[in-house]
Amino acid sequence: MKKLLFYLFCLVFCSCNFLDKTIPEKEELLNERLQEINWNEVTLYPSTPDCDSITDKISAKNCFFNYLTQSVQERLSTDTLSVLYPEIDTIYLKVTVNPDSSVYFESQFNNKLDYKTQKIDSLIKVRLQNFPEIKPGQKEGIPVKTEFILPVILKVE
Predicted pLDDT of residue 91: 84
Residue 102 is assigned to a structural domain of this protein? yes
Q: What is the tally of structural domains in the chain? A: 2
Shared-domain flag, residues 10 and 69? no
Shared-domain flag, residues 62 and 26? no
Helix residue ranges, H only, 23-154: 26-36, 57-77, 81-84, 115-127
pLDDT tens for the chain, residues 1 to 157: 666 666 655 555 555 555 556 777 878 877 887 777 777 777 888 999 888 888 888 999 999 999 999 888 888 876 566 667 777 778 889 999 999 999 998 888 776 656 677 788 888 888 888 888 899 999 888 899 999 999 888 765 5
Shared-domain flag, residues 100 and 139? yes
DSSP 50-86: TTTT--SHHHHHHHHHHHHHHHHHHHHHTSSHHHH-T
pTM of the predicted structure, to 2 decimals:
0.70
Predicted pLDDT of residue 4: 62
Residue 51 is assigned to a structural domain of this protein? no
Domain ranges, residue 78: 57-153
Shared-domain flag, residues 32 and 64? no
Shared-domain flag, residues 108 and 69? yes
Residue 77 is assigned to a structural domain of this protein? yes
Shared-domain flag, residues 78 and 132? yes
Residue 98 is assigned to a structural domain of this protein? yes
Spatial contact of 71 and 64, defined as CB atoms under 8 Å apart: no
Shared-domain flag, residues 21 and 98? no
Shared-domain flag, residues 13 and 80? no
